[in-house]
């Protein structure tokens, strides 16, 4: 609990058996998280079995896709403050406190993985991926006159439940380009958003989204298409 508000963390999980238990324990260890929801997105390994050995609540989302898993988590979480993260060792539980520190003044607090001093040596954040994130972010910032943005693909972010309820029914992206939709919809609702740097470490296993050049380019182009589509037809669905 943080300032008398309950805090939920959402982990979208697909084949994360090797680190899911450690991630749950890490995020509970900061002392402010009341609930962790692990969304098993049709894992083919022992992700669900490992997650059920922890204090997390495990739910199954049968619609495959990163965005589908996060949408399910957003609807399942009971906290007044909701935090999205990854259970693959890339993010650190202690950075929850960093997001919360800004939550009194902002409706949504987005992490950025582009701060060089916080990118760990083994992290999947080479120059191409870092530049691509920056380009998409700045393009979105220009189109929507948002706060300063540098990373549209960072899962780790915080949103107040009251703010989420203003656009949760408009969320429509089930794939890897889900995160920009949250920012665009938040801007459409005139929510207060800020971006802050978070630690970014090496992941356990290979990224399902940006683990190779093809996946990186595909996700980047989908993000750009999404922000353009919403700008041209703000009430359109993707």
Structural domain contains residue 132: yes
Q: What is the pLDDT of residue 238?
A: 45
- List pLDDT tens digits, range 77-132: 999 999 999 999 999 999 999 999 999 999 999 999 988 788 877 776 666 677 87
DSSP 8-state class, residue 211: S
Tell me the pLDDT band of 217, cut-offs 50, 70 and 90.
confident
Structural domain contains residue 221: yes
Q: Would the CA dihedral through 128, 196, 166, 235 be positive or negative?
A: negative
Residues 93, 21 contacting (CB under 8 angstroms): no
- Mean pLDDT within 158-168: 97
SS (H, E, C) 135-170: HHHHHHHHHHCCCCCCCCCCCCEEEEHHHHCCCHHH
The overall average pLDDT reported for the chain is 90
SS (H, E, C) 71-135: HHHHHHCCCCEEEECCCCCCCCCCHHHHHHHHHCCCCEEEEECCCHHHECCCCCCCHHHHHHHHH
Structural domain contains residue 55: yes
Expressed as residue numbers, the domain containing 87 is 7-232
Least confident of 14-18, 74-78, 205-209: 205-209
Higher pLDDT among residues 183 and 236, named by residue: 183
Structure tokens at 114: 């582009």
Counting Cα atoms < 13 Å in the Cβ hemisphere of 143 gives: 21
Structural domain contains residue 2: no
pLDDT at 221 over 50: yes
Structural domain contains residue 160: yes
Overall residue count recorded for the chain in this entry: 238
Residue 23's CATH number? 3.90.550.10
Structural domain contains residue 237: no
Task: Determine what percent of the chain is predicted with pLDDT higher than 70.
Answer: 90
Q: What is the pLDDT of residue 126?
A: 66
Using CA atoms, how far residue 219 sits from 106, 173, 175, 228, in Å, is 28, 12, 9, 14
Structural domain contains residue 166: yes
Per the structure, how many domains does the chain have?
1
- Mean pLDDT within 174-179: 91
Structural domain contains residue 220: yes
* Distance, CA of 195 to CA of 182 (rounded, Å): 13
Matching residue, tokens 């993985």: 113
């Amino acid at each position: 609990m943080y300032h008398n508000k309950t805090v939920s963390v959402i982990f979208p999980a697909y084949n994360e058996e090797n680190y899911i238990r450690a991630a749950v324990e890490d995020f509970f260890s900061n002392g402010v998280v009341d609930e962790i929801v692990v969304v098993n997105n049709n894992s083919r390994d022992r992700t669900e079995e490992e997650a059920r050995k922890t204090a997390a609540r495990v739910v199954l989302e049968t619609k495959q896709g990163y965005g589908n898993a996060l949408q399910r988590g957003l609807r399942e979480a009971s906290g007044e403050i909701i935090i999205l993260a990854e259970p693959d060792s890339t993010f650190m539980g202690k950075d929850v406190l960093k997001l919360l520190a800004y939550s009194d003044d902002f409706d949504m607090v987005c992490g950025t993985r582009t701060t060089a001093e916080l990118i760990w040596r083994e992290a999947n954040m080479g120059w191409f991926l870092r530049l691509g994130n920056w380009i998409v972010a700045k393009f979105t910032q220009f189109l929507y006159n948002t706060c300063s943005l540098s990373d549209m693909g960072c899962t780790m972010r915080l949103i107040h439940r009251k703010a989420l309820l203003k656009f949760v029914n408009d969320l429509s992206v089930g794939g890897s380009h889900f995160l920009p939709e949250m920012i665009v919809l938040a801007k459409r609702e005139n929510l207060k958003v800020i971006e802050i740097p978070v630690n970014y470490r090496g992941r356990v296993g290979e990224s399902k989204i940006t683990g190779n050049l093809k996946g990186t380019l595909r996700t980047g182009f989908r993000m750009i298409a999404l922000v353009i589509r919403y700008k041209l037809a703000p009430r359109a669905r993707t």
